[in-house]
């Protein structure tokens, strides 16, 4: 069970309370051990928000953790820091959840650890919504038992006729995915979004240019995150956020701004589990003849029947098939000695 954070009262009891670690409630003292949460990292340096304070300290990994050769500490992780000279992260506490993707053949990249909510941000236009990325982020959240909310941003552009396919956007709400519509320019929907994020550790994720940083700036006045314009020629967003960072959310909780995604490949995904990331496919699969049906070419497949009948959207089904194929390919590439 991960540590409790004072800004998130929904967290469970802090397991560190039973240990020897002195969890500090005053300012960090470089001569003592203390605990906190990683807010950002770069160049081997981790910026850690000290528990119960507004203090942020810098620390590097201990030699023992460095020798592990793995990505042992990520933004959002709860850590124990050793003081007394140069500060070192001595322990990383187990995660309760993580949003991760595959980076290369055998490497996991944790985008944010200990997440409550993934806010999947797409835009009405500029850039054109990439619903494949939206499908994958929602699937990733579902498969990791993280809540997901779809944020349809830049709704002010709809008045100029620059709209995405309305039926495709409405289909998410029909699947039970909470959908909020927002506009930083007009302020529409920001109050509802602010309420939804209160008390949560939220990752705002999606393709470049959809307005993630602008939304955070609107929710946390004075933060001043850098934002960029969408390219006119190709209507593609530019990467203005270059690394994931957690920001304290004044009403309670944290907000994570992430670099824009042009593609996301999920890490270590069991092909048999892929359907759980698509609620309508998982529900229809109960009617399949075979328990291990992959819904691709098997006889008496209830999912394929539902697709033909228009009960499951063709685009969503295609997203499922693409993710399934990637999971199978990744599994086949693993050597016999891989775990």
- Alpha-carbon distances of 254 from 6, 96, 260, 267, rounded to whole Å: 11, 16, 19, 24
Closest C-alpha among 45, 86, 49 to residue 66 = 45
For residues 101 and 136, which has the higher predicted lDDT (pLDDT)?
A: 136
What average pLDDT does the chain have? Answer: 81
pLDDT in tens, 258-298: 876 555 667 678 899 999 999 999 999 999 999 999 999 99
Closest C-alpha among 270, 244, 249 to residue 324 = 270
- pTM for the model: 0.82
Check pLDDT > 80 for residue 95.
Answer: yes
Three-state DSSP state, 101: strand
32 contacts: CB under 8 Å, gap ≥ 6? 22, 24, 83, 84
pLDDT in tens, 109-136: 788 999 999 999 998 887 888 898 899 9
Rounded distance, CA 222 to CA 220, Å?
A: 6
Check pLDDT > 80 for residue 14.
Answer: no
pLDDT in tens, 146-192: 999 999 999 888 765 555 456 677 789 889 999 999 999 999 999 99
Rounded distance, CA 254 to CA 246, Å?
A: 6
Give the residue-averaged pLDDT of 198-204.
95
Contact indicator for 111, 136 with CB cutoff of 8 Å:
no
- What tokens does 164 get? 């995405």
Cross-strand partners of 328: none
Rounded distance, CA 252 to CA 204, Å?
A: 16
Contact indicator for 320, 278 with CB cutoff of 8 Å:
yes
Q: What is the pLDDT of residue 237?
A: 39
The string of DSSP codes covering 106-160 is: S-EEEEEES-SEEEEEEESSSSPP-HHHHHHHHHHHHHTT-EEEEEEE-GGGGGG
Closest C-alpha among 175, 180, 118 to residue 154 = 180
For residues 28 and 301, which has the higher predicted lDDT (pLDDT)?
A: 301
């Amino acid at each position: 069970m991960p540590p409790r954070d004072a800004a998130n009262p929904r967290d469970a009891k802090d397991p560190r309370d039973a240990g020897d670690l002195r969890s500090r409630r005053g300012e960090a003292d470089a001569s003592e051990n203390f605990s906190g949460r990683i807010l950002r990292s770069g160049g081997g340096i981790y910026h850690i928000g000290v528990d119960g304070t507004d203090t942020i300290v810098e620390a590097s990994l201990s030699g023992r953790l460095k020798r592990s050769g793995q990505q042992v500490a990520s933004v959002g992780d709860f850590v124990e820091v050793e003081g007394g000279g140069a500060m070192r992260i001595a322990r990383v506490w187990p995660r309760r959840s993580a949003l991760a993707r595959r980076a290369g053949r055998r490497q996991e990249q944790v985008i944010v650890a200990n997440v409550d909510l993934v806010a999947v941000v797409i835009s009405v236009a500029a850039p054109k919504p990439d619903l494949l990325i939206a499908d994958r982020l929602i699937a990733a959240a579902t498969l990791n038992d993280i809540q997901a909310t779809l944020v349809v941003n830049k709704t002010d552009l709809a008045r100029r006729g620059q709209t995405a396919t309305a039926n495709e956007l409405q289909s998410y709400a029909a699947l039970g995915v909470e959908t909020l519509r927002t506009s930083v320019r007009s302020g529409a929907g920001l109050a509802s979004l602010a309420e939804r994020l209160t008390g949560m550790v939220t990752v705002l994720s999606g393709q470049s240019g959809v307005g993630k940083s602008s939304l955070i700036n609107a929710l946390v006045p004075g933060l001043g995150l850098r934002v960029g314009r969408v390219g006119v020629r190709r209507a593609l967003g530019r990467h203005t956020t270059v690394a994931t960072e957690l920001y304290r959310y004044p009403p309670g909780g944290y907000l994570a701004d992430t670099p824009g995604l042009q593609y996301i490949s999920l890490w270590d995904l069991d092909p048999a589990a892929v359907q759980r990331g698509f609620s309508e496919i998982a529900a229809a699969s109960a009617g399949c003849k075979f328990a291990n049906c992959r819904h691709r070419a098997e006889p008496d497949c209830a999912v394929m029947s539902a697709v033909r009948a228009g009960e499951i959207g063709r685009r969503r089904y295609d997203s499922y098939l693409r993710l399934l194929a990637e999971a199978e390919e990744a599994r086949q590439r693993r050597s016999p000695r891989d775990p």
